[in-house]
A and B are shown apart, each in its own frame.
Chain A
Amino acid sequence: MKNVLLALLAGLVFGVGLVVSGMTQPAKVVGFLDLGSGWDPSLAFVMGGAIAVHFLAYRLVPKLERPIWGSAWALPTRRDVDLRLVLGAVLFGAGWGLGGYCPGPALTSVVAGASSTLIFTSAMLAAMWAHSLWTTAAEAR
Chain B
Amino acid sequence: MPPEFTPFSSALGGALIGLSASALLLIQGRVAGISGIIGGLFTPRAGDIGWRVAFVVGLVVAGIAAALFTPELVAVEVDRAPWMVGVAGVLVGLGTRIGNGCTSGHGVCGLSRMSPRSLVSVITFMAVGALVASLVGALTGASA
Contact = CB atoms under 8 A, between A and B. Distances in A.
Interface string B79-108: 110101111111111111111101110111
A17 B15 CA distance: 7
A123 B14 contact: no
Contact of B66 (A5, A19, A30, A123): A19
A123 B15 contact: no
A28 B136 CA distance: 15
Contact of A45 (B10, B16, B132): B10
A47 B144 contact: no
Interface string A30-48: 1101111111111101111
A interface, size bucket: 35 or more
Contact of B95 (A10, A45, A91): A91
Given A34-B133, A74-B30, 13 more contacts: A7-B54, A17-B13, A17-B18, A21-B14, A22-B9, A46-B11, A92-B95, A95-B90, A98-B87, A102-B34, A102-B102, A119-B85, A131-B39
Interface of A: 3-31, 33-43, 45-58, 60-61, 64, 66-70, 72-76, 78-81, 84-104, 106-117, 119-133, 135-136
Interface of B: 2-7, 9-32, 34-35, 38-39, 42-43, 50-52, 54-67, 70-71, 73-80, 82, 84-100, 102-104, 106-113, 115-117, 120-122, 124-134, 136-138, 143-144
| Nearest 5 CB-CB pairings of A with B | A88-B99, A11-B58, A21-B13, A15-B62, A49-B14
